[in-house]
Amino acid sequence: MELNLNIEALLSRLPLFSGLEPGELARLSQASKLFAAAKGEVLFNKGDACPGMHLVLYGQVKLAFTSPQGNEKVVEIIRPGQSFGEAVMFMERPYPVFAQTLADSQLLLISKTVIFSELERDQGLCRKMIASLSSRLHHLIADVESYSLHSGKQRIIGYLLREAPEPQEGCNSVVVSLPTSKGTIASRLNLTQEHFSRILHELSDAGLIRVDGRQIHIPDLEQLLRFD
C-alpha cells in the first residue's frame, strides 16, 4: 500500500532523529520504506535477517517468541514514536523474536546500511542511539527485577499506575484504557491470562478497580498505590 507522506518531516519529529541536518534527514528518508500493516500481520519471524530498524508511526507491535510447548511470551509492546530492531541490527544477527501488529499500524523501515553511514558522520546521532539502547536495557533489567521480586498483584498494580493518565484537578479517579488484549498484557507481565484475570477480580472485589472490557476504572489512585 503506497502512502504519500513526507518521510523527512516524520523523521524530524522523532526524538531519535530530531536535530539532524536536512541532508542527513534526506539520506535517511531515501533509505526508508513507509508501509502500512493490518492488525495481526507478522512483520518478521524469528531467524529472519535484520535489514534495518523499524519505527512505529501509529498502531502497536508486539515482539514475542514461542516456547517449544507452543506458549507465547510477549517481550515488549512497541507504541507510536518507539523503535525496535536496533540491537539486532548492530549485532548483524537474525531476529531472536517475531514481530506482529496488535492494531492497524504504519511503520518506517530504515536501511541499516544508511544508518551505519550516518553514525560515522554524526556523533550526536551515535549518542542518541546509545541512549535509546541503554534505555531499552534499563527497562529490561527493571522487568527482570519485577518478575523476580514482585508478586503478580504488584506487577499488575504497577502496570495500571504506569498506564494511568493524570487525574483532573481535585479528582483522584481515572480510567485506564488497556492498549491491547488482557492475554497479551498478561504475557508481557510474565503471567498467565488466568492469573491476570484472577488478580483483576481480586482488585475489583476489594473496590480498588472496576473492569469494563478494556476499560479499568480506578476510583482512588492513592488507595491503589497503598494496596499490597
- Tell me the pLDDT tens digit for each residue of 122-169: 888 888 878 877 877 777 787 777 777 689 999 999 999 989 998 888
pLDDT above 80 for 62: yes
Contacts for 45-51 with beta carbons within 8 Å, 24 or more apart?
A: 45/95, 45/98, 46/94, 46/95, 46/96, 46/97, 46/98, 47/94, 47/95, 48/94, 48/95, 49/94, 49/95, 50/85, 50/88, 50/89, 50/92, 50/93, 50/94, 50/95, 50/112, 51/109, 51/111, 51/112
pLDDT at 111: 92
- Tell me the pLDDT tens digit for each residue of 98-126: 999 999 999 999 999 988 988 888 888 88
pLDDT at 87: 87
pLDDT at 225: 87
**Three-state secondary structure call for residue 223:** helix
pLDDT at 228: 61
DSSP percent split of the chain into helix, strand, coil, nearest 5: 40, 25, 35
